[in-house]
Amino acid sequence: MRTRIVLGCAAVALAAAGCGKATAGHQNADDQHPASATQSTTQSAQPTRTSPVRSATAPPTHAAKPTPRATTAPPTRAGTPQPTNARRSPPAEPASGSRCHTSDLWAVFQPLGAAAGNQYGKILLTNHSGATCTVFGYGGISLTSSSGASVPSKQIRDTSTPPVQLTLRPGDHAYSQLHWSDVSGPGESSTRACEPSASGLQVIPPDETRALDAHWPGSPACEHGQIRQGAYRAGTGPASGG
């Protein structure tokens, strides 16, 4: 009786042990399946990474560089001297320093007296313009009658004093001394006037062509109208000749 009980317990124990192994084996199988499920779930739960897709459009082009605007020089202020490398021309000679023209002058004849058949006088030029001008040399002279007709006359230059350039300011004078003879010369009559009497004197300033009219005292110029003339000098000249 006791032996049956022992055997029964052993059988029960063996059955329980078998059940235990079966249970354990079943648990292991179940344990494996949840792990696989968990791993699958985890993999499916992870977000899917996609490779970045490059745009098929062309790369952006760079904008063309703006063309620089033409620069202009800043406006020049009035009265501000601007530097320059150009060589400056010398200033032109002012009109006030130019030659005296006929229109700038007055002419007057003044007698200076007589001595032993010789007559003396002078031509006086006056600058009546408003500008300074110059005179150089002898000029020209000729005698005329009261009607304006030409009277024989011949100018002879007196070179004993060389000419110099004279500067005449407005109102300044220049004079030229004259010398002629009132005694008949070769080929002239000794019983009457050697030459026709003159009443006018035409004065041509140096380097000019137009004449100024001046009064002549009426004395004839013998020796066929020869009149010696000196170069123009500054001032009004002597008060008497000889």
Share above pLDDT 70 across residues of the chain, in percent, rounded to a whole number: 60
Of residues 153 and 89, which shows the higher confidence score?
Answer: 153
24 has a pLDDT exceeding 80: no
pLDDT (tens digit per residue) in 110-133: 999 998 889 999 999 999 999 999
Mean pLDDT of 168-179: 97
Q: Which of 84-93, 140-149, 168-177, 185-194 has the lowest mean pLDDT?
A: 84-93
Rounded to 5 degrees, what angle do the CA atoms 188, 189, 195 make? Answer: 65
- Residue 221 has a CB neighbour count (10 Å cut-off) of 24
pLDDT at 232: 98
Mean pLDDT of the chain: 74
Instruction: Confirm if 144 and 202 have CB atoms less than 8 A apart.
Output: yes
